[in-house]
């Protein structure tokens, strides 16, 4: 069965510093997508970044970037120049679009607190 593991339940970082959130997953598929979603205190789920497994280049969106290691099945999120507004729960998600069910599997989340 496909699984997504986020081993860091909570993290904190000083404002303007860099932090990396870890995510590992397990699948036998070769083609899939990986995502990071952010859930601030408002509890809205917001897409942060997306990575296609067939692309070797790591995705980047402004201060957010990923380190995608396909062989190691690792997908970490790096937040640079952390801002107070980055305080949120972060969920890693795996999307299997080859099985026909288009299933999304979410990790348990990492609660990130940015300190002033």
Partner 1 sequence: DSGVTQTPKHLITATGQRVTLRCSPRSGDLSVYWYQQSLDQGLQFLIHYYNGEERAKGNILERFSAQQFPDLHSELNLSSLELGDSALYFCASQGGYQETQYFGPGTRLLVL
Residues lying near partner 1 in the complex (CB under 8 A) are found at 33, 35, 37, 43-47, 50, 91, 95, 97, 100-109
- Nearest of 11, 109, 110, 92 to residue 48 by alpha carbon: 92
Shortest separation between residue 16's beta carbon and partner 1, angstroms: 28
CB closer to partner 1, 30 vs 116: 30
**CA separation (Å) from 26 to 10, 11, 84, 111?**
22, 23, 32, 22
Task: Closer to partner 1 by CB, 19 or 107: give it.
Answer: 107
CB closer to partner 1 out of 25 and 37: 37
């Amino acid at each position: 069965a496909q699984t997504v593991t986020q081993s860091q339940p909570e993290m904190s970082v000083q404002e303007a510093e860099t932090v990396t959130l870890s995510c590992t997953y397990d699948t036998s598929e070769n083609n899939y997508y990986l995502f990071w979603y952010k859930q601030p205190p408002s509890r809205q789920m917001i897409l942060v970044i997306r990575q296609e497994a067939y692309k070797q280049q790591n995705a980047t969106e402004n201060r957010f970037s990923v380190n995608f290691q396909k062989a190691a099945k690792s997908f970490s999120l790096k937040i640079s120049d952390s801002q107070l507004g980055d305080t949120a729960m972060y969920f890693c998600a795996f999307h299997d679009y080859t099985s026909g069910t288009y299933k999304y599997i979410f990790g348990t989340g990492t609660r990130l607190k940015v300190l002033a």
